[in-house]
A and B are shown apart, each in its own frame.
Chain A
Amino acid sequence: MTHEDLTIIDPKMRAQGVDVFYGDKQAINNVSIDVGTDLVTAFIGPSGCGKSTFLRSLNRMNDTVASAKVTGRIELDGEDIYAPSMDVVQLRARVGMVFQKPNPFPKSIYDNVGYGPRIHGLAPSKADLDVIVERALVRAGLWDEVKDRLLESGTALSGGQQQRLCIARAIAVDPEVILMDEPCSALDPIATAKIEELIHELRGKFAIVIVTHNMQQAARVSQRTAFFHLGTLVEYGKTTDIFTNPKQERTKDYITGRYG
Chain B
Amino acid sequence: MAVVNDHTVKAFDEDLNRLRGLISEMGGRAEQALLQAMTALHKGDLDLAAQVVRDDKKIDALESEVEQLAVQTIALRAPMADDLREMIAALKIVSVVERIGDYAKNIAKRVALMDQTRSIEAIPLLMSMSSIVAELIHDALDSFAARDAELAVRVTVRDKNVDDFYNSIFRTLVTFMMENPKYISESAHLLFVAKNLERMGDHATNIAEMVYYVVTGEHMEERERGEQPEDGAAEQEQG
B82 CB-CB contact with A under 8 Å:
yes
B9 & A244 in contact (Cβ 8 Å cutoff): no
B158 CB-CB contact with A under 8 Å:
no
Report the minimal beta-carbon distance from B75 to chain A, rounded to whole angstroms.
Answer: 12
B8 & A258 in contact (Cβ 8 Å cutoff): yes
Report the minimal beta-carbon distance from A196 to chain B, rounded to whole angstroms.
Answer: 16
A258 to B82, CA, bound (A): 12
B223 CB-CB contact with A under 8 Å:
no
B80 CB-CB contact with A under 8 Å:
yes
Question: Contacts A244-B84, A244-B217, A258-B7 known; A249 to B2 CB distance under 8 Å?
Answer: yes
A251 to B80, CA, bound (A): 11
| A255 neighbours in B (Cβ, 8 Å) | 80-81
A259 & B81 in contact (Cβ 8 Å cutoff): no
Secondary structure dominating the interface of B:
loop
Interface 0/1 of B1-17, CB less than 8 Å to A = 01011111100100000
Question: Contacts A257-B9, A257-B12 known; A245 to B80 CB distance under 8 Å?
Answer: no
B7 & A256 in contact (Cβ 8 Å cutoff): yes
Interface 0/1 of A236-260, CB less than 8 Å to B = 0000000111100101110111111
| A216 neighbours in B (Cβ, 8 Å) | 78
A230 CB-CB contact with B under 8 Å:
no
| A258 neighbours in B (Cβ, 8 Å) | 4-8
| B217 neighbours in A (Cβ, 8 Å) | 244-245
B142 CB-CB contact with A under 8 Å:
no
Report the minimal beta-carbon distance from A221 to chain B, rounded to whole angstroms.
Answer: 15
A249 to B1, CA, bound (A): 12
B2 & A244 in contact (Cβ 8 Å cutoff): no
A249 to B2, CA, bound (A): 9
A243 to B217, CA, bound (A): 11
| B84 neighbours in A (Cβ, 8 Å) | 243-244
A215 CB-CB contact with B under 8 Å:
yes
A255 to B7, CA, bound (A): 10
A259 to B82, CA, bound (A): 14
B83 CB-CB contact with A under 8 Å:
yes
| B78 neighbours in A (Cβ, 8 Å) | 216
Interface 0/1 of B208-229, CB less than 8 Å to A = 0000000001100000000000
Tally of chain A residues near chain B (CB < 8 A): 17
B21 CB-CB contact with A under 8 Å:
no
A260 to B5, CA, bound (A): 8
B85 CB-CB contact with A under 8 Å:
yes
- A-facing residues in B115-168 (Cβ within 8 Å): none
B8 & A245 in contact (Cβ 8 Å cutoff): no
Report the nearest A residue to B88, measured CB to CB. Answer: A244
B8 & A257 in contact (Cβ 8 Å cutoff): yes
A244 to B83, CA, bound (A): 9
A167 to B84, CA, bound (A): 34
Report the minimal beta-carbon distance from B194 to chain A, rounded to whole angstroms.
Answer: 39
User: Which of A244, A252, A259 sits near B8, CB closer than 8 Å?
Assistant: A259
Interface-central residue, A243, A255, A259, by most chain B CB under 10 Å: A255
B80 & A256 in contact (Cβ 8 Å cutoff): yes
A129 to B81, CA, bound (A): 48
Report the nearest B residue to A247, measured CB to CB. Answer: B217
B2 & A256 in contact (Cβ 8 Å cutoff): no
User: Which of B12, B80, B85 sits near A215, CB closer than 8 Å?
Assistant: B80
A256 & B79 in contact (Cβ 8 Å cutoff): yes
| A215 neighbours in B (Cβ, 8 Å) | 80
Interface-central residue, B9, B77, B81, by most chain A CB under 10 Å: B81
Report the nearest B residue to A260, measured CB to CB. Answer: B5
B85 & A244 in contact (Cβ 8 Å cutoff): yes
| A256 neighbours in B (Cβ, 8 Å) | 7, 79-83
Complex A-B: 28 CB contacts under 8 Å: A215-B80, A216-B78, A243-B81, A244-B80, A244-B84, A244-B85, A244-B217, A245-B85, A245-B218, A246-B81, A252-B81, A255-B80, A255-B81, A256-B7, A256-B80, A256-B82, A256-B83, A257-B8, A257-B9, A257-B12, A257-B77, A257-B80, A258-B4, A258-B6, A258-B7, A258-B8, A259-B8, A260-B5
Report, nearest first, the 6 A-B pairs whose CB atoms are least far apart: A245-B217, A258-B5, A255-B80, A256-B83, A257-B7, A252-B81
With contacts A252-B81, A256-B81 known, what are 15 further pairs, Cβ within 8 A?
Answer: A243-B80, A244-B80, A244-B217, A245-B81, A246-B81, A249-B2, A255-B81, A256-B7, A256-B83, A257-B7, A257-B9, A258-B4, A258-B7, A260-B5, A260-B8
